[in-house]
Structures are given as structure tokens and as C-alpha cells.
Structure 1
Amino acid sequence: MSRHVILGAGPVAHAIVASLTQRGIEVDVVSRSGTKIDGARTVTANVLDTENLKSVISGCDAVYQASQPGYHRWPQEFPTMQDSVVRAVRGSNAVLVSVENLYGYGPVAKPLTESLPLIATTRKGKTRADMWRSLEAEHKAGRLKVTAGRASDFFGLHVEGSCVGDRFFKSLLRGKKAEMFGNPDALHSYTYVTDFGEALVRLALDERSLGRAWHVPNAPTVSTRKFLKLAASIAGVEAKHVTRSRLQLRLAGVFIPPARESIEMLYEFEEDFVVDHSAYAAVFGDHATPLNDSLAATIDWWRSNPAI
């Protein structure tokens, strides 16, 4: 029977597990904390321990690299983490699926496609770009079978630490102001994490995905203000919000490093940020969940988890 291994146990891992179990594929979830996800076998391990990781993934068909260091530690720790994963997977027959975002492109004044150059100059954007170039080189040299799925800011089940996570949905459902950034009227593509997980599995199972990165499906893009109004209407609450300024984030960053790190990415919210996933859809199908449906499922999840 086919077996896939997920490195990391966050919201994307939950979504991948759901897609794999629907297909009857065995799945192991690897994390340092030994976090349990229903439907998966739990493996407690550190991805930086390359030799142990080799034994964990031995004989599997696909490895999803969904683990990452703290947001403020990407340049210092992320490349080393990926290098350990690559050395563990290299030489096996497993497909390595890199779970990525869109930081590597930098500011772009048009819809984002995969053909755009990776020319970001931000700390995290440059890290992302360099890491993909390293994976691409491994593939071209014949040492690794690799593909990547790139998502925008995501929301949905188990998603807390996102710009549309707890400070957005939890606040909204409690009658408080949802937190926003930049220009609320600028268009912004948001990724439903369930669609992200499904896309990553399709990439893992289809050799046509290999050697390149793909933008995963998103519902038609709306402004963040429209996103908020839709969510509020579905939830039956008032659409109240507060927009955090650069200065507020800078002050918060004195005590909260991730807040400081988010400042360099504000360009994504100050101008239109629209993702084109037509290349993926042409090969693997367009399975983006309609926004009304994904928001309803997200709101149901938050309401069923009041302690979060």
C-alpha cells in the first residue's frame, strides 16, 4: 500500500492528511512534539536529524516538507532545515513536495504567475527564492524528484497564525474588530487550506508536476473588505475591523518578533495581490472551493472550537 510522510503537524498537514485518507493512502505525520492528527500515524522526530529522518521516510512514496522554523528565524534556520530534508530524501524514490508561499517573487504590479522571476529582496522572500533554486538544482541534477505548491495567505480549519486566522475570525465571531493590514479595498487572493492540501496531494501523485512550482487554486479574488463582509454575513455578525499600521507593528515588534517580521511583507496588502493558478488548473483541475462555502466551513470550525 502507498505511504506518504508529512513533515510538520500544522494546519497544512491536517489538510494533507484529510486528502490522503480520502484516497486510502497511509500517512505518517512527523513532528518534534509528536502532535497527533486523526487518520495519521504519529512519529516524533526532529527533521534536523538527517540519519533518523532517512529511516522514518524509508520506503515511502512521497514526502511533504511542511515544517518550518519560527517566522522571525527563516534566514538563519530554514535553509538548514530544508538541506536536512533533501539529504534524507536524496537517493530514495520518494517525491519531495515543498510546501511554499509567494514571497519569492517580491512586489509585482500584475497577477502572479509561476513564470515570474524570483527576485525578492526581503529577508523572507530572498530565503524562499534561494531555497527553491536549491531544490530545482537538485532535480535538474537527477538527485531528487521534487515539486512545489505555492499558496497565498491561507485560512480555514486549524489555521490560527495567519493574517486571516485567530485575530481575524476569532475577533469577528466575538463581536470585536477583525484585524487587517494595508489597504482593505485592494484585491487579495486568499487560499483555503483544504484546497491547498488537496493540491499538494495531486502534485505528489502526478509525475507531470515534477521539476517546477505550481500556484494552487484559489476562489476568485476579492478585496479584504469584501472577504470580511462575506464572513460577517455568513456568521450573522457586524463586519467591524481595525487596520494595523506599520508604526503599530513596529512598536509591537519590540516585544513580539513575528510582528516585526511582518512589516516587510505589507506590500502584499497595500496594492492588489492577485494569484493566477491557471497553469495548475489546466493540468490538475480547478478544485477551488467557492468562497461562501469555505468561509462557512471556517466559521463552523471556529465556533466548534471556542477555547482556541
Structure 2
Amino acid sequence: MTTHVVVGAGPVGLAVAEHLRERGDDVAVVARHVTDKLPVGAEHRRIDVTDAALAKAAFEDADVVYHCAQPPYDLWPDLFPELTRGIVEGVEATGARLVVAENLYMYGDVDDRITEDLPYAATGPNGRTRAECARMVLDAHDEGRIEATIGRASDFFGPRVRNSVVGEQVFGEAVDGKPARVLGKPKLPHTYTYVPDFARALVLLGERDDALGEAWHVPNPETVSTRQFVELVYDAAEVDPVLPRIVYLSGPLLTLGGAVSSSLDGFVNSPPLKEFVERRYSFEAPYIVDDSKFRNAFGDAVTATSLETAIDATVAWYREQEPVTGPIHIETGEEQSFGATHQ
């Protein structure tokens, strides 16, 4: 039986672990904090994988390692390369296969559909950092040091996803009957990724030899405008259609983080918004992700959940949660769990 080690206990890491456990696979999750959110039967390993020797110990019995962790958003340039390097060296030392969960920051501002053959043209510090980490992984594969593949997702939503541009600010507000708070121009098309689809795609990539050495955009539901997305959420939450459903931050206010209505204070005053300005382009122009490479290569092995079904499931998850108190810090990447702390 294959043994899987998942680094990161955020929404994607937990979704990967959950999918693997549902199949009956052995799973260990490397995460900083002790958590009661792990799937039944998953092992917890509290090991600092930024240290290559400790990463080797964490991965010793692994056939496949999934890198689904990230440092705090505002510390990516300082910490992300160290995290990725430790994982790569740990995988190299054990002979495990590496699957990396990534976003799309490395491409920068794109005028057309977003495909895997685009250059890494990001100019901001976080986009450049993601490009550096991607090159580190693919270079190690090309040099024959490891076997690796990368799955890339757009801004995502789904169960457990709170710190996303369409997380608590949209789904949480909807189930509370309050207006959604979004960034950029909601009338524009924007591709969103459903986290359970992302997880299933990452597992598939780790199983396929023909996926190695390349990056893949995972399957996504149909692309609609952010306004249409919000409307589907509010319909699923059965919010009175006469109530206002959306407020948004765009243009100079998005850049400056300036004074806006008090209904937006929850995310205007949060530090990650300052970092978000780096990629405001993705919400102020059409942002359409092309996943045809994955679909053409792997057929129906993993298909995207329909947008309505995915939204219904996400609304149901939010209804089961305790209310959130205090501001939600918006993130637009994947995991919020940075490796682990060795204690």
C-alpha cells in the first residue's frame, strides 16, 4: 500500500488527506499545530520540514509527498524558498515522489487565457517568490534528483476555505444574510477552483508517470463573473433576493487601501490587503484559466464539480460552522499552515 505524507493542514492539505483516507490509503499530515481536524486514521507529524534532516525523517516511509503548505502571506519572500528547499531535499534523501500545490502568481499580469506555457513574468515580490519555488522543484526534477509534478489552482473556495477572496467574505456573509465583500470589478469573468477538485487532481498527478516534470492547471468549474458567482452563492443560501448582495473594493481604493464604508473595514484594515494589491490585475481584468492540458491528458480521471453543486456543498459547510468573530484576513493562495514547528 502506498504511504502518503501531506505537508500542510490548511484547506488543500486536509482535502488531500481526506480524499486519500476515503480510498483507504495510509496518510500522515505534517503540520505546525496539533489539530482535531485530521481525517479519521490520519497520523499527525509535528516536524519542521524547513530543516532537510528533519524533512527526511518526516518523509522516511513516504511514497508520495504533497507540498500543500505556505508561510504567512507577508513573509513569502523570506520563508517560502527555505520551506520548499527543505521539502525538496527531504524528498531527495528518501526517494519519495513530490507533488506541489501551487497558485498562479508566477505568471503575473496576463492579457489572454492563462495556460501552463506562459513565462514567469510576475513583477511583485510574492509572484517572483512563487516563480523561484516552482523553478526549484522543476530544476530538481530535470537534474534527476527527484521525481516531481505541480498542480496549480486559481483562487479557491470550498469546505474549510475561509481566508480566500471568496471565502468568509462571500460564503460567511451569505449564510448570515449580509452583503458579500469582494475585490476588483465583479462584472468580469474570473475562474475559481473548488478545493475538493484540486485535492483529487493532486493525488492523480502523483500517480501518473506522464505528469512528472511539468506543471498542470487542475480542472475548474465553468468560469463566470464574480457577480454571477456571488449570486449563485446567495441563491444557494436562500437569501432574500431584495436584500443587497454585494459591495466591492476597486480602482484607487483597492490600491490605496483608503477610507471606504464601515461595512468593508473587516478586510480593508487587515494586513494581507496590502499584499493583495500586488495582484489586483487578476480582479480588474478578465481572469480565465485554461485547464485543457489536464483534461486532454487525463480525460475523465478527474473532472470538475459543477459550479452549482460545489457552491451548494460550500454553503452547507458554512452553515455547520460557529460564527467567526473579528476580522478575516484575506489570502489568495492555498494553505495557511507553514510546514511545522519542531517541539
Normalising by structure 1, report the TM-score: 0.96
**1:241 paired to 2:246:** yes
Q: 292-301 or 107-116, which moves further after superposition?
A: 107-116
- The amino acid of 1:88's aligned partner reads G
Tell me if structure 1 keeps the 8 A contact 2:21–2:39. no
CA distance in 1, matches of 2:135, 2:39: 34
Please give the alpha-carbon distance, in whole angstroms, between the structure 1 residues aligned to 2:318 and 2:280.
26
Match of 2:327 in 1: none
Match of 2:271 among 257, 271, 289: 257
Q: Which amino acid aligns with 1:8?
A: G
Partner of 1:225: 227
CA distance in 2, matches of 1:139, 1:240: 47
Specify every segment of 5 or more residues in structure 1 that has no aligned partner in the other structure, as ranges: none
Q: Could you report, residue by residue, the CA deviation over 1:59-103 in whole angstroms, capped at 9, with x for unpaired residues?
A: 211111111110111111101111111111113221111110001
2:318 is aligned to: 302
Q: Distance in 1 between matches of 2:22 and 2:293?
A: 25
Q: What code does the residue aligned with 1:241 have?
A: I
Shift in CA distance, 272/31, structure 1 to aligned 2, threshold 3 Å: same
Partner of 1:58: 60
Please, which moves more after superposition, 35-44 or 106-115? 35-44
Q: 2:282 — aligned with what? A: 268
Kept in 2: contact 1:111–1:274 (CA 8 A): yes
Q: Is the 8 A contact 1:156 1:194 kept in 2?
A: yes
Question: After the TM superposition, which parts of structure 1 deviate over 4 Å for at least 4 consecutive aligned residues?
Answer: 251-255
Question: What residue is the counterpart of 1:24 in the other structure?
Answer: 24
Q: For 1:180-199, list aligned pairs within 5 A.
A: 180-199=182-201
Q: What's the CA shift for 1:34?
A: 2.4
Aligned-pair CA distance for 1:247: 2.6
Q: Is the 8 A contact 2:158 2:196 kept in 1?
A: yes
How far apart are residue 18 of structure 1 and its match? 2.1
Spell out the pairing of 1:1-308 with structure 2 (5 A cutoff).
1-36=1-36, 37-39=38-40, 40-237=42-239, 238=241, 240-245=245-250, 246-247=252-253, 250-251=257-258, 256-286=270-300, 287-308=303-324
> Displacement, 1:231?
1.1
AA in 2 matched with 1:265? R
Secondary structure, counterpart of 1:266 in structure 2: helix
- Using the alignment, how far apart are the partners of 2:299 and 2:157 within structure 1? 21
Instruction: Tell whether the 8 Å contact from 1:98 to 1:147 is kept in structure 2 after alignment.
Output: yes
Q: Which has the higher contact order (CA 8 A, sep 6+)?
A: 2
- Structure 2: segments with no counterpart, 5+ residues: 259-264, 325-343
Call closer, same or farther: CA 1:304–1:201 in 2, change over 3 Å: same
Percent identity at matched positions? Answer: 42
Matched residue type, 1:102: L
* Cα distance between partner residues in 1 of 2:152 and 2:205: 11
Per-residue CA deviation, residues 216-275 of structure 1 (Å, 9 max, x unaligned), is 000110000000111111111146111023535624799632111011111101110000
**2:49/2:58 contact within 8 Å kept:** no
* TM-score normalised to structure 2 length: 0.86
Shift of 1:128: 0.7
Residue 194 of structure 1 deviates from its aligned partner by 0.4
CA distance in 2: counterparts of 1:88 and 1:152, whole angstroms: 28
